Amino acid sequence: MRRGRSGLAAILPFLWLALFFAFPFVLVAKLSLSETALAMPPYAPRIDWSQGLDGLKAFFAALDGETYARLTKDRLYLDAYLSSLRIAATGTGLLLLIGYPIAYGISRCPPAVRQALVMAVILPFWTSFLIRIYAWIAILKPAGILNGALAALGLPPVDILNTETAVLLGLVYAYLPFMVLPLYAVLERRDESLIEAAQDLGATPLSAFWRVTFPLSLPGAAAGALLCFIPMAGEFVIPDLLGGSDTLMLGRVIWTEFFANRDWPAASAVAIVLLATLVAPILLFERQQAKVLR
Amino acid sequence: MDPGADGALTGRPQHRPQIGGIRSSFAPWEDPAARPLVRFEGVSKAFGDAQAVKGVDLSIYEREFFALLGPSGCGKTTLMRMLAGFESPDGGRIMLGERDIQADPPHRRPVHMMFQAYALFPHLTVALNIAFGLKRQGLPKAEIAARVAEMLALVKLDGLGQRRPDQLSGGQRQRVALARALAPRPRILLLDEPMAALDKKLREETQFELMSLQQTLGMTFMIVTHDQDEAMVVADRIAVMREGRIVQVGRPAEVYEAPVDRYVAGFIGDVNLFEGKVSAHEGPLLRLQAADGQFDAEGTADVGEQVWLAVRPEKIAVHTEPPADPRNRLAGRILDYGYLGDWTTYLVEIAPGRTIRAARANATRTVDRPLGCDDPVWLTFAPSSAVVLTK
């Protein structure tokens, strides 16, 4: 009996993944290999179940990579793809630069203060994501709060709404907790005696940080970077609301293909390519982790 | 002791005549001309309301193996951490040679510490752990490599330089920690409970290795421990601490055989205490009137003074027939005994609820025990074997 139950418990996560990850993924993958059609789905080919195994064979034979070939021909896709990766990478870099001092600062506070500060980092999640991004429009628009403040200080106004700067600002703002929390988790568990040992052996406090604290916090930085980079590369809402027409990101390309062009296979193919490139860093990271453990 | 004959001026001999006994050849603390390497002068430290260290004066000499001994919370670790620079004293000062090191941060002190849980850098290999202090000194690469190899050989870890700390056993990790702290050649090496994480057998081996290492390198070691056996084995001198104060400083044998008070007598080894009043002087002897009887002992105390007679279990002889001499004789029956192989410890009831501990070396191979529970026995001790304590 007990064995059966624990078996069920082990199967549950797999069921979950099969239902909400594998199945949709197969659907999207199938779509990306299908013929473009002007009508709604299903797109050709379809499996003719009445033919049995032959129908299945015919189905696989009819699938083709024509859509993928099309992606390589149009510069737009490559540009959007590179621009997405560039923006996500820049955002991740900025998040590391901003998130690390925050996480480090929190981890050095007395325990009671730490709790309050971690709460403060999580607090923005309690309001709607969309509202918070709209709020940035109010701040950044030409006659917005930012320019009002600049004018009050006698400084020239800036026009950054609908630029890549605004997109980066929004991304960094929205993803900061995802960077701070994993970093904080490793920094908080830091073994104080290691820092003391480093200083005891002649390392200045700064050198002790770079040689001991920092390398030991890298797994947290890697986790934070993955947690931010992947969704940022596919981000749609922030570039759509804060970016201009010249901010090219894959999220918007997918949206356009889906809703404006009604080209579901193209949208699916773009999504699959994005996924494939995002899985690569995860696998690299996992392998690195496994190496450290060994 | 003749200060001119000891090793302070002529260099310490490479061989210790006795382990745990009196190493008469090395005693710079008895030489008024000797300059201590480390001096604590009226050092105090409080954490909030808790006074951890209360006005400690202490001198540690070059090439000495010094032990700070006391129960947990007695302030011994705080004292050591103040020397390393991780805590700063509220009062008093700490001198290293002729320098007041109060203002020096830990990384500028030529004092290295072997941490209790070793504190090895988990992301660095054994060799890089050992090289850590050498690199901070800015030594040339070739010299660092040579010194790391030398240290690995010294702690018998040759060939393990490329391992990571988590690939080592507890004993090996301990050696890496030792090598790492020794590599930059500190003026004094601090050892914070260095053997707490080792099992008994390994601990004993390590104690002897530490001693021979300290001898070979001619370095000054200061160890913090709560284990009196460990302190007795390794140290030239022991400072017994209690509640932030140093109660007694002396050679292991002095601390054991001539404790200054009941606390030290009880903390180092087992002891039987007889409480009473001095009733008379008889030549060099005191006569003590105690609840358990009348005893003679060597010591100094005034007639009528309240004193305690401390007698170690191994200094009490156990007899099966009543000895003729009634002096320092107690009659009782064996309540319990513990056979330890080399020794047998007897718990003897001399009055209802009053027990005395006596130990007897098992000098012959007697498997059939001659003494057992409820056997009537007589205990005696020599007047010179008892210590008269006034506090």
| Amino acid residing at B344 | T
Measured between CA atoms, the residue of chain B closest to residue A212 is B121
Q: In what order do the strands lie in the sheet with B376-380?
A: B317-319, B376-380, B329-339, B343-351, B354-361
Q: What average pLDDT does this structure show over B149-166?
A: 92
Q: What domains can be seen in chain B, in order of their start residue?
A: 3-110+186-264 (3.40.50.300), 270-389 (2.40.50.100)
Measured between CA atoms, the residue of chain B closest to residue A193 is B119
Q: Which CATH architecture has domain A68-293?
A: Orthogonal Bundle (1.10)
SS3 at position A97: helix
Contact B129, A203 (CB under 8 A): no
Which A residues 206-265 touch B at CB under 8 Å? 207-208, 211-212, 215-216
Peptide bond before A42: cis, by omega within 30 degrees of 0? yes
Q: Which two tokens stand for residue B385?
A: 């074997």
Q: What average pLDDT does this structure show over B82-110?
A: 92
pLDDT of residue B20: 43
Contacts of B178 in chain A (CB under 8 A): none
Whether residues A202 and B180 touch (CB distance < 8 A) is answered with no
pLDDT of residue B223: 95
Question: What is the ipTM score, two decimals?
Answer: 0.81
Q: B75 vs A15, A200, B50, B249, CA distance in Å? A: 58, 20, 10, 15
Q: Please state the separation of Cα B342 from the chain's center in Å.
A: 22
Angular region, A40: left φ>0, alpha ψ -120 to 50, beta rest: beta
Q: Which two tokens stand for residue A287?
A: 């392998």
Instruction: Give the confidence band of B294 by pLDDT, cuts at 50, 70, 90.
Output: confident
Contacts of B121 in chain A (CB under 8 A): 194, 197-198, 212
Contact B120, B129 (CB under 8 A): yes
β-bridge mates for residue B387, sequence order: B310
Q: A127 vs A4, A20, A123, A137, A166, CA distance in Å? A: 43, 26, 8, 16, 20
Q: What's the gap in Å between the CA of B136 and the closest CA on chain A?
A: 6
Counts for chain A of helices (H) and strands (E), in that order:
15, 0
Measured between CA atoms, the residue of chain A closest to residue B185 is A201
When CB atoms are compared, the residue of B86, B112, B117 closest to A201 is B112
Burial of A163 (C-beta count, 10 Å sphere; 0-12/13-18/19+): middle
- The kind and range of the H/E element at A94 are helix A75-107
For chain A, what percentages of helix, strand and coil (3-state, to nearest 5) are there?
80, 0, 20
Whether residues B180 and A201 touch (CB distance < 8 A) is answered with yes
Whether residues B113 and A202 touch (CB distance < 8 A) is answered with no
* Position with higher pLDDT, A10 vs B70: B70
Q: Please state the separation of Cα A161 from the chain's center in Å.
A: 22
Whether residues A203 and B115 touch (CB distance < 8 A) is answered with no
Contact A62, A45 (CB under 8 A): yes
Peptide bond before B284: cis, by omega within 30 degrees of 0? no
What whole-number distance in Å separates Cα of residue B89 and Cα of residue B57? 13
Whether residues B132 and A201 touch (CB distance < 8 A) is answered with yes
SS3 at position A286: helix
DSSP A40: P
Cα Rg of chain B, angstroms: 24
Contacts of A192 in chain B (CB under 8 A): none
Q: What average pLDDT does this structure show over B12-22?
A: 40
Q: Please state the separation of Cα A269 from the chain's center in Å.
A: 19
Q: What's the gap in Å between the CA of B196 and the closest CA on chain A?
A: 16
When CB atoms are compared, the residue of B107, B115, B123 closest to A202 is B107
Measured between CA atoms, the residue of chain B closest to residue A293 is B166
When CB atoms are compared, the residue of A193, A196, A215 closest to B123 is A215
SS3 at position A93: helix
pLDDT of residue A92: 96
pLDDT of residue A90: 95
Counting Cα atoms < 13 Å in the Cβ hemisphere of B348 gives 29
Over residues B207-234, the pLDDT tens digits come to 998 998 898 888 999 999 999 889 999 9
Does the pLDDT at position B238 exceed 80?
yes
pLDDT of residue A250: 87
Q: What is the mean pLDDT of chain B?
A: 87
pLDDT of residue A283: 81
Contacts of A193 in chain B (CB under 8 A): 115, 117, 119
What whole-number distance in Å separates Cα of residue B383 and Cα of residue B380? 10
Instruction: Pick out chain A residues at pLDDT < 70.
Output: 1-6, 36-44, 291-294
* Position with higher pLDDT, A70 vs B64: B64
What whole-number distance in Å separates Cα of residue B310 and Cα of residue A105? 57
With CA atoms as reference, report the closest residue to B219 among B252, B185, B245: B185
Whether residues B117 and A193 touch (CB distance < 8 A) is answered with yes
Which B residues 134-193 touch A at CB under 8 Å? 136-137, 180-181, 184
Instruction: Give the confidence band of B12 by pLDDT, cuts at 50, 70, 90.
Output: very low
Q: What's the gap in Å between the CA of A119 and the closest CA on chain B?
A: 29
Q: Give the residue carrying structure tokens 């090439």.
A: B63
How many residues are present in chain B? 391
Over residues B338-353, the pLDDT tens digits come to 888 888 889 999 888 8
pLDDT of residue B165: 93
